[in-house]
């Protein structure tokens, strides 16, 4: 059975790592979860594409939506905690309002999206993903063609790709200063990419 555990680590971790609250969930397994603003609630993504919002105090389900058709692989919040982005096996990443769970934007690709992150300084989104490991042929893995893809937050349009990994990208994250990002791949490598000056001068033309 699926449940979401909440543990108090102040001032010390709990004995036996036992959570102080266990929130029972739907039949669909939780695959990713993040805190909402001020730690008042928890946003959880499920194997069936659902998103749930739970009260951190009572464990009550506050809202439930289903904008994805397949598993949610990753959830990351914006720097100011007003928005979050989901990455899904349905080949999309989606932007939502943290409090209302209103669906704001969709970023479409041709392959499963394993991870998505929001820039702390620009209206930019980075996505990482690729085919399932078992579907990747040995020829394609040699080329290092697995790409991190950059989209404009407002216009939902792709404006750049960075190649390098020899397998699907499993995780992406921006540095808090927005001057670099990291990607972790099925190939076992973590790549740290520093943006060149052109990136900071780039203006998106809609």
Q: Left if phi > 0, otherwise alpha if psi is -120 to 50, otherwise beta: which for 20?
A: alpha
8 A C-beta contact, residue 162 and residue 153: no
Task: Residue 32: name the closest of 63, 65, 1, 76 by CA.
Answer: 76
Q: How many domains does the chain have?
A: 1
CA 165 to chain centre: 19
Higher pLDDT pick, 116 / 203: 116
pLDDT > 70? residue 206: no
Distance of alpha carbon 33 from alpha carbon 51, whole angstroms = 9
Tell me whether residue 38 is exposed, middle or buried, using C-beta atoms within 10 angstroms of its C-beta: 0 to 12, 13 to 18, 19 or more: exposed
- Per residue in 138-190, pLDDT tens? 555 555 679 999 999 999 999 999 998 999 999 999 999 999 999 999 999 99
Distance of alpha carbon 45 from alpha carbon 86, whole angstroms = 8
pLDDT > 60? residue 50: yes
- Give a yes or no: residue 205 inside a domain: no
Domain holding 135: CATH number? 2.130.10.10
8 A C-beta contact, residue 55 and residue 43: no
Average pLDDT over residues 59-83: 96
User: Hey, what are 76's tokens?
Assistant: 């990351």
Q: Left if phi > 0, otherwise alpha if psi is -120 to 50, otherwise beta: which for 90?
A: alpha
User: Hey, what are 144's tokens?
Assistant: 């290092």
- pLDDT at position 117, please? 98
Output the pTM of the full model: 0.89
Flag the least confident range among 13-22, 52-61, 71-80, 128-137: 128-137
- Give a yes or no: residue 206 inside a domain: no
* CA triple 198-92-64, angle to 5 deg: 125
Residue 22: domain span: 3-200
């Amino acid at each position: 059975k699926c449940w979401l555990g909440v543990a108090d680590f102040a001032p010390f971790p709990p004995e036996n790592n036992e959570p102080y609250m266990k929130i029972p969930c739907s039949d669909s397994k939780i695959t990713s979860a993040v805190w909402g603003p001020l730690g008042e609630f928890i946003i959880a993504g499920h194997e069936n594409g659902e998103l749930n919002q739970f009260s951190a105090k009572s464990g009550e389900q506050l809202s439930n939506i289903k904008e994805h058709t397949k598993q949610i692989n990753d959830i990351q919040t914006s720097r100011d905690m007003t928005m979050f982005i989901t990455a899904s096996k349905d080949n999309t990443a989606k932007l939502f309002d943290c409090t209302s769970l209103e669906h704001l934007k969709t970023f479409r690709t041709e392959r499963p999206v394993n991870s998505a992150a929001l820039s702390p300084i620009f209206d930019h989104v980075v996505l990482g993903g690729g085919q399932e490991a078992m579907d990747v042929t040995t020829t394609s893995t040699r080329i290092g063609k697995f790409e991190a893809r950059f989209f404009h937050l407002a216009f939902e349009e792709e404006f750049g790709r960075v190649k390098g990994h020899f397998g699907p990208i499993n995780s992406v994250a921006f540095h808090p200063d927005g001057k670099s990002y990291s990607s972790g791949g099925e190939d076992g490598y973590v790549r740290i990419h520093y943006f060149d000056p052109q990136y900071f001068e780039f203006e998106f033309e809609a």
